[in-house]
Amino acid sequence: MTSMSRARVARRIAAGAAYGGGGIGLAGAAAVGLVVAEVQLARRRVGVGTPTRVPNAQGLYGGTLPTAGDPPLRLMMLGDSTAAGQGVHRAGQTPGALLASGLAAVAERPVRLGSVAQPGACSDDLDRQVALVLAEPDRVPDICVIMVGANDVTHRMPATRSVRHLSSAVRRLRTAGAEVVVGTCPDLGTIERVRQPLRWLARRASRQLAAAQTIGAVEQGGRTVSLGDLLGPEFAQNPRELFGPDNYHPSAEGYATAAMAVLPSVCAALGLWPADEEHPDALRREGFLPVARAAAEAASEAGTEVAAAMPTGPRGPWALLKRRRRRRVSEAEPSSPSGV
């Protein structure tokens, strides 16, 4: 499928989400049904050799940093098991802890991490999670990171419905004053028990949803980072290192890879990334594109960020596509939070 074709499919799904459609499927219903069957076989192994309890990483990171009278930055995680960090043993190995530690280091300011992410959640659970986040209007997070989508595919949720819930969540959070970064649907084609040709179909379904998620999130003022293509090639080459013991959730190294991709976008959303990296670099094929084109390209390339740009153009809203350089969060694994 060409980039233009992927863009048309993504735009069709996003339009269906915006205008109430619900019948647009991913990669063909029968094919996805077969993919789901294989993924469910893999999911049955979740918990085998894996912690059943998600580590509690909530608390204060960078507590020894000076505050200059400012309160700590507030970072909130929303989404599914990937956002929660299921599959690792220690709080410091979760993506929330890695992002909080990295953000504290870049901002030179403490960061208070919270989480309402729920293992097993689909995008329709974001309504509940956002309500929890916004329950105290005077404590709205500075930045929210949403990671969601895999369960939508495995539970056969219509893509339009999935994107509708995500778009609503981003809109509510942005209206409340929080910046939002969305890690889009991961690549289900990397799960070892999904074999060819179903592996290709799983990858296609994941990328279609990721592109549509990008359109929905960006049009509501959020930023997105492609996790699917970031993790896909690296997981395929190093499955024993980047998958956890259940062969379904990421390992500590896998979560670190995802966190390194998301951290630059989190920092950029808060105005903390170097100014010279905010300009598009033609050598890295960065630039302004119609949002559907940018979404399709992002779904096919590792760690690509898409953010809103010019409000409109001949082919609708435009976006800035950035291929940010990956930087290590830290050479040392974060310790547990210094306070709750």
Known catalytic membership, residue 336: no
The answer to whether residue 247 sits within a structural domain is yes
Out of 125, 165, 226, 249, the active site residue is 249
In a domain, residue 113? The reply is yes
* pTM of the model as a whole: 0.81
- In this predicted structure, what is the pLDDT of residue 324? 76
> What average pLDDT does this structure show over 52-73?
84
Q: 246 catalytic, yes or no?
A: yes
Q: What is the CATH number of the domain that holds 307?
A: 3.40.50.1110
Of residues 173, 268, 278, the one with CA closest to residue 217: 173
Does residue 183 belong to any structural domain of this protein? Answer: yes
* Within-domain flag for 112: yes
| Residue 64 falls inside a structural domain | no
Reported as a single tens digit per residue, the pLDDT across 121-172 is: 999 999 999 999 999 989 999 999 999 998 888 788 888 899 999 999 999 9
17 pLDDT band (50/70/90 cuts)? low
In a domain, 223, yes or no: yes
Q: How far apart are the first and last CA of the chain?
A: 48
Confidence of residue 22 (pLDDT cuts 50, 70, 90): very low
User: Which position among 123, 246, 251, 300 bears the catalytic label?
Assistant: 246
In this prediction, residue 243 carries a pLDDT of: 38
Say if residue 45 is exposed, middle or buried (CB neighbours under 10 Å; 0-12, 13-18, 19+).
middle
Provide the pLDDT for residue 123: 96
Q: What is the pLDDT of residues 265-324, one digit of tens each?
A: 999 999 998 777 778 888 888 898 888 888 888 887 768 899 988 666 556 688 999 987
Q: Is residue 11 assigned to a domain?
A: no
pLDDT in tens, 217-265: 999 999 999 887 454 444 454 444 333 344 456 777 878 888 988 999 9
264: domain range? 72-323
Return d(Cα 31, Cα 33) in angstroms, integer.
5
Residue 245 lies in a domain: yes
Number of domain units in the chain? 1
**Known catalytic membership, residue 127:** no
